[in-house]
Structure 1
Amino acid sequence: MSQREIIATVKRDYIVDLAEEGKRVDARDMDQYRDINIETNWAGNAEGSALVDLGKTKVLAGVKIERGTPYPDKPEEGVLITNAELAPMAHESFEAGPPGEEATELARVVDRGIRESEMIELDKLCIEPEEEVWMIHVDLHILDHDGNLIDASSLASVAALLSTEPPEDEEDWELSEFPVKEKPITTTFARIKDTIMADPCLVEENAMDARFSIATLENGNICAMQKGGSGTLSKEDLLNAHELAKVKSKEIREKLD
């Protein structure tokens, strides 16, 4: 076993022992999120943007609007495309090159929360049925990684979309504003042994058995879910996570307002 592996094992055992005592490495309560800061209109060359700090995790989301071809099965709807870039400067585990499995999963989870909540009224973004629609690109740039990229990226995306302005100098844009109607919030929980904790930091993610992310609407209804990790979750775990998600998403949504 290498020195790096030995250190990782010692850290994991320490986090597990703390969890069994009802404690966390940064002294937070089990249902407590790290400090959240949201700064919109951060990138001047985008139609919408937001920089989110979740503890030491930092994510920049940018929104670009362009013309494109609709999907064949939805010829009268605009198109949402979400991409994530895990820059090597954000963490030593990230490598340069095409998006890997982690980046692909992150983009899909964020995309699903936005899409299934129907946050964007895509039916209003048609220019010519079957021919041309508006395409919404949400690009995620991970600047610093200290855990829970899903929540930070989802929040940055929602904040960026809420700040999005119609494209300038586009004659075919007929709407007075960018069509959004929902504010989905994703909250993530980790299970370590028999303990469920909100907003896991990186060392907690490295020690967790399973991860569960829930995207909820303002009325508390679930619009998307994602399970990660090799461990299992019981029905009770899921029900408890949903109740926590309703409380935590309300707190986070207030920061958007």
Structure 2
Amino acid sequence: MSLLSVISEGERRYICGGIDVGMRSDGRSCDDYQMISIERDVTHNCDGSAHIRCGHNDVLVGIKLEIESVVQLEDWNQCGRIDFSADITANASPMFEGRHGEDITNVLVTLFSESIPQCLDLQSLVVVPNKYFWVIHIDIVVLECGSLPSLIDSAAIAVKSALFDTKIPSVSAVAGDSEDFVVSDDMFESTRLDVSRVPLFVTLTRISTRYVVDVTPEEDEASIASISFAINSSEGIVYMKKIKSGSLHPEPIQHTHEKVQKVGQTLNEVLMMKLSSDSQNKGKISFSLN
């Protein structure tokens, strides 16, 4: 699913030839990401937010909390809920015309809805058992997009950073009423979500005979297929999905599992370390895995 006009055959051969010998046009190796810059707490009308820039990708994530009541007890899973939505700005790419932009956002919502909720403690979002629970609304806005594979990885970093930034208000029961409660407006009484198990995505893109991460728009044009892996620090690969038509040979994919887990776990560890120590940087962090 390319986002720019088709590259020439000469450019395609140049990209594939470089990838075959482990050299990319911007000097990175096949396993290297571009510089990642993140800013948290960027929208004050949200309960959590993050803004990421990585290469041609520019993504904003805002999180809003809402208390919802249990309508049908027999249909309730005894836990809170996470809802994802995504939107893409008209100037994110000249190729976002018609339904193409909607296709991109549907991919993001599907990937994150199927992988992230299972790695969060949703039972901790229950406010009053069998009565009320928190709903976490995660809104993803794509401001600029280079390629779909790199966008997925960047958006996942933004989502995890915004979840880390999210503060859940303290809730206390009203005296004499076991079903009523009061939500505190004191930010110092709020708690943070445990995002240690929230996965990040590493999307491998097959170009010629090799797999690379964080592809540029031109590399995406020269690619054959892509597959996304959701990886956290404790369990490794927790989810995977093929996102682009084309052939993926089973044998090379099996050999890349170890590499994917190493890249994903390193990305998780570096991100959590930076997020945990960024108070002195006023919520702004930048890092590279090169």
Mapping 1:41-120, distance limit 5 Å: 41-69=41-69, 73-95=75-97, 100-116=102-118, 118=119, 120=120
In the alignment, does 2:224 pair up with 1:209? yes
The percentage of aligned residue pairs carrying the same residue is 27
Q: 2:170, 2:191 within 8 Å by CA — same for their partners in 1?
A: no
Letter in 1 for 2:138: V
1:125 maps to which residue?
125
User: CA-to-partner distance for each residue in 1:34-77, whole Å, 9 max, x for gaps?
Assistant: 11112111111111111111123111111110122558644421
Q: 2:232, 2:265 within 8 Å by CA — same for their partners in 1?
A: no
Q: 2:168, 2:193 within 8 Å by CA — same for their partners in 1?
A: no
Most deviating of 236-245 and 68-77: 68-77
Letter in 1 for 2:234: N
1:195 maps to which residue?
210
Most deviating of 81-90 and 161-170: 161-170
Instruction: State the alpha-carbon separation in 2 of the partners of residues 19 and 184 from structure 1.
Output: 28
Instruction: State the alpha-carbon separation in 2 of the partners of residues 6 and 106 from structure 1.
Output: 24
Q: Quote how far apart the aligned CAs of 1:220 are.
A: 4.9
User: CA-to-partner distance for each residue in 1:4-46, whole Å, 9 max, x for gaps?
Assistant: 9665555444433433343323221111111111211111111
1:177 maps to which residue?
191
Structure 2: segments with no counterpart, 5+ residues: 173-180, 274-290
SS at match of 2:34: coil
- Name the structure with the higher strand share: 2
SS at match of 2:254: helix
Instruction: State the alpha-carbon separation in 1 of the partners of residues 221 and 76 from structure 2.
Output: 40
Instruction: State the alpha-carbon separation in 2 of the partners of residues 69 and 191 from structure 1.
Output: 46
Q: 1:151, 1:186 within 8 Å by CA — same for their partners in 2?
A: yes
1:162 maps to which residue?
164
Instruction: State the alpha-carbon separation in 1 of the partners of residues 264 and 29 from structure 2.
Output: 16
TM-score (norm 2): 0.76
Larger radius of gyration: 2
Instruction: State the alpha-carbon separation in 1 of the partners of residues 223 and 7 from structure 2.
Output: 16
**How many residues end up aligned between the 2 structures?**
252
Aligned-residue RMSD, C-alpha: 2.8
2:33 maps to which residue?
33
Instruction: State the alpha-carbon separation in 2 of the partners of residues 10 and 146 from structure 1.
Output: 21
TM-score (norm 1): 0.85
Letter in 2 for 1:249: G
2:234 maps to which residue?
219
Instruction: State the alpha-carbon separation in 2 of the partners of residues 234 and 21 from structure 1.
Output: 19
Letter in 2 for 1:196: Y
2:272 maps to which residue?
256
Instruction: State the alpha-carbon separation in 2 of the partners of residues 206 and 85 from structure 1.
Output: 23
Structure 1: segments with no counterpart, 5+ residues: none
